[in-house]
Amino acid sequence: MSKKSEVTAKELKEKLFMQKKNAYLRMTDAEVKKCDKFCEGYKEFLNTCKTEREATAFVETEAKKAGFVPFDKNKKYKAGDRVYYVNREKAIILAVVGKEPIANGVNIVAAHIDSPRLDMKQNPLFEKDEVGYFKTHYYGGIKKYQWPTVPLSLHGVIVKADGSKINVNIGEDDNDPVFCVSDLLPHLAATQMKRPATEIVRGEELNIIVGSRPFKDDEASEAVKLNIMMLLNKKYGITETDFLSAELEAVPAFKVKDIGFDRSLVGGYGQDDRVCAYPEFMAVLGAKSVRRTAVCVLTDKEEIGSDGNTGLNSAYMKYFIADLAATFGARCRDVLSNSKCLSADVNAAYDPTFPDVFEKNNVSVLNGGVCVTKYTGSRGKSGTSDASAEFVGEIRALFDKNGIIWQTGELGKVDNGGGGTVAMYVANLNIDTIDVGVPVMSMHAPFEITAKADIWAAFRAFEAFITN
């Protein structure tokens, strides 16, 4: 007969196995209250900031109220000073000067504020069979079939020949009209439904309906287009040529909502990556005194690969850090080499309806806490920075010390697809970088899903990283 072990399997398992537990089972009632309150602010942010330009303007306004002033490379700064830098109205950096010498490095948190959407083409307005349309070119990775029959609002700017700029925001106010891409009725869609899913609606079929009443003149051709142009000329003083120097973006017009009887989830457009941007900037706003200089980056262009001078594959963040370092007489390369970065971006939340694409041991789940992603990429870790075990260990210890609810996750099964974030562009500057963000269900869809507990955990994680 075998001798019974002195420890039970249950005890041993508790000691040796990884413990995974739903965030709500680990939060006190008081913390759930704080979490829900925080998410009300987040929902307002989502409703107000649907584009990179709107997010930049909003953050600048809030930062000013919180004592941030425009960064001046000719000034001297001391611990506690708060500065910001706006890049072309599409990206913004906030910094809080730390007590330690800047040459010791800075703590960066970087999220992106652009989201998948439909951009208007340069020459967008046309009329076909007496319906007026805007032609679009989609921005970022979308499932094109998800975008027809969704009410859309128009956001952006029109720059006129004299250099003046008109801000456009139509479809958000309850009294505003909205816009829409049409789809075929099922009765006549037999042929359409045989197309491959990538082509159920093709890129050139994502035409947005913008009007249907003709200008009252029997002789004129393109009378619907003429009538629309007349209305736009009345409202904005523009002619058709002014579209050439415009950036108009169509995004879902609906508001953010709680999801579920228990209101535990947030549903809304553009949560990738504003669900990380908001906690990040709230954490920096609240950071009064920091040991290491904190740098909060809210960037553009992530959804199309981070290229372009407002994306993080450009030098703008490096130049900002170089200029800040110079005010202290420090060398930029020393600062960068000693810096650390949380690339604050979302990961795919496990979807119980579609379990096949996930590998269950390595996936983030709703209500599992903020997700730490060591590497992204695809085809054998291509296109990622892959954080070192040492840096993962450091972040793990920091989060545990601060009681932060966190999990790890990989973007789906190996070779099932993949994706990237800004992490590699920051890491390429010789900065220790790791992805830390909120899991999202239905990512890149017009209505994305996140869990309130994870959003709160992200805020606490960024706060701990900035103020540690």
Residue closer to Mn ion by CB (options 127, 273) is 273
Q: How far is the CB of 115 from Mn ion (least distance, A)?
A: 7
Q: How far is the CB of 320 from Mn ion (least distance, A)?
A: 21
The CA distance from 156 to 175, in Å, is 19
Phi, psi of 127 (to 5 degrees): -120, 135
The CA distance from 272 to 314, in Å, is 21
Q: How far is the CB of 272 from Mn ion (least distance, A)?
A: 4
Q: Contact region for Mn ion (CB under 5 A) — 167-175, 249-257, 315-323, 344-352?
A: 344-352
Is residue 273 near Mn ion by the rule CB under 5 A? yes
**127 - beta bridge partners?**
132
Residue type, 220: A
**441 - beta bridge partners?**
449
Burial of 326 (0-12, 13-18, 19+ CB in 10 A): middle
Residue closer to Mn ion by CB (options 444, 452) is 444
Q: How far is the CB of 297 from Mn ion (least distance, A)?
A: 13
Q: Omega of the bond prior to 273 within 30 degrees of 0, cis?
A: yes
Residue closer to Mn ion by CB (options 171, 420) is 420
Residue closer to Mn ion by CB (options 53, 82) is 53
Is residue 345 near Mn ion by the rule CB under 5 A? yes
Q: How far is the CB of 213 from Mn ion (least distance, A)?
A: 38
Phi, psi of 55 (to 5 degrees): -65, -40
Q: How far is the CB of 114 from Mn ion (least distance, A)?
A: 9
Q: Give the three-class secondary structure for 22.
A: coil
Residue closer to Mn ion by CB (options 133, 281) is 281
- What secondary structure letter does DSSP report for 250? E
Q: How far is the CB of 52 from Mn ion (least distance, A)?
A: 12
Q: Contact region for Mn ion (CB under 5 A) — 194-202, 341-349, 377-385, 424-432?
A: 341-349
Residue closer to Mn ion by CB (options 110, 125) is 110
Q: How far is the CB of 208 from Mn ion (least distance, A)?
A: 22
Q: State the residue number with the nearest CB to Mn ion.
A: 273
Q: Contact region for Mn ion (CB under 5 A) — 119-127, 131-139, 165-173, 268-276?
A: 268-276
Residue closer to Mn ion by CB (options 127, 249) is 249
Residue closer to Mn ion by CB (options 448, 463) is 448
Site string for Mn ion, 66-95 (x = CB under 5 A): ------------------------------
Is residue 272 near Mn ion by the rule CB under 5 A? yes
- What secondary structure letter does DSSP report for 110? E
Is residue 435 near Mn ion by the rule CB under 5 A? no
Q: Report which secondary-structure segment, H or E, holds 157.
A: strand 152-159
Q: Contact region for Mn ion (CB under 5 A) — 191-199, 202-210, 270-278, 362-370?
A: 270-278
How many residues bind to Mn ion according to rule CB under 5 A?
3
- CB hemisphere CA count around 187 (13 angstroms): 1
Q: What is the b/e burial string over 341-358, where b = at least 16 CB atoms within 10 angstroms of the residue's CB?
A: bbbbbbbbbbbeeeeeeb
Q: Contact region for Mn ion (CB under 5 A) — 8-16, 84-92, 267-275, 361-369?
A: 267-275
Q: How far is the CB of 117 from Mn ion (least distance, A)?
A: 11
Residue closer to Mn ion by CB (options 50, 292) is 50
Give the E-state strand segments of 314-461 in sequence order. Answer: 340-343, 347-348, 370-373, 406-408, 432-437, 439-440, 448-451
Residue type, 38: F
Q: How far is the CB of 440 from Mn ion (least distance, A)?
A: 8
Task: State how beta strands 294-299 and 107-112 pair.
Answer: parallel
Distances (CA, A) of 163 to 122, 158, 166, 228, 432: 17, 10, 10, 23, 42
Is residue 280 near Mn ion by the rule CB under 5 A? no
Q: Contact region for Mn ion (CB under 5 A) — 55-63, 256-264, 345-353, 400-408?
A: 345-353
Q: How far is the CB of 211 from Mn ion (least distance, A)?
A: 32
Q: Contact region for Mn ion (CB under 5 A) — 342-350, 365-373, 377-385, 445-453?
A: 342-350
Residue closer to Mn ion by CB (options 71, 459) is 459
- What secondary structure letter does DSSP report for 215? P
Task: State how beta strands 347-348 and 439-440 pair.
Answer: parallel
Residues 6 or more apart whose Cβ sits within 8 Å of residue 134: 120, 121, 124, 125, 179, 207, 208, 210, 248, 250
Q: How far is the CB of 417 from Mn ion (least distance, A)?
A: 13
Residue closer to Mn ion by CB (options 97, 455) is 455
Is residue 52 near Mn ion by the rule CB under 5 A? no
Residues 6 or more apart whose Cβ sits within 8 Å of residue 305: 311, 313, 420
Residue closer to Mn ion by CB (options 98, 279) is 279
Contact 335, 108 (CB under 8 A): no
Applying CB under 5 A, the residues found at the interface with Mn ion are 272-273, 345
